[in-house]
Amino acid sequence: MRDGAVELGSPQVLAEAPALAGVLVDAVAGGASLGFLAPLTHEAATAWWRARAAAVANGRQAVWAARRGGEVVGAVLLTLAQAENGRHRAEVGKLAVRRDARGGGVGRSLLRAVEEGAAARGVTLLVLDTETGSPAEGLYRSAGWAEVGAIPGFAADPTGELRSTTVFYKAL
């Protein structure tokens, strides 16, 4: 895989699952609220990414990975709505960048790639949520995402403490 953000097919998700898991484990260890409690093991994260391969193969999800210097340093997931009346929308999730690669545009590159990939699939509306007060809020705002509002006590952070989430959307 070349440097930058690239979409992975199902076989690539399987092959890159250990590297993708490394990003997820690092993000959770750093306090990112991504749906997992700490400590997240590399084995559990690898299994989680491998399970995405089937959803990629059947077109329900798409995965992008970012490389720098030959290493996977970030990833993002797109989940396409399956309801008949909602096929114009999708959810962006699990946008994570390894702590040692933050601040260099990797997150922005992944966000741009997932937006372009969604548009290429005919998606016209994207939604996401992120922990209220997290650095990710600034990324989304600066990329033109509109804030809907916050939901208190929405999800537990990696330590198990309930945190608010802020919901965003972007019309493509």
Domains of the chain: total: 1
At 105-163, the pLDDT tens digits run 999 999 999 999 999 999 999 999 999 999 999 999 999 999 999 999 999 999 999 99
Residue reference for tokens 């890159």: 16
Q: Please return the burial class of 114, using the count of CB atoms within 10 Å of its CB with bins 0-12, 13-18 and 19+.
A: buried
Phi and psi, residue 63, nearest 5°: -125, 135
CA 171 to each of CA 6, 119, 142, 151: distance values in angstroms, whole numbers, following the listed order: 22, 10, 15, 21
In a domain, 146, yes or no: no
Residue 38 lies in a domain: yes
Token duo for residue 73: 């340093």
- The domain that contains 28 carries what CATH number? 3.40.630.30
pLDDT of residue 90: 99
Domain membership of residue 131 (yes or no) is: no
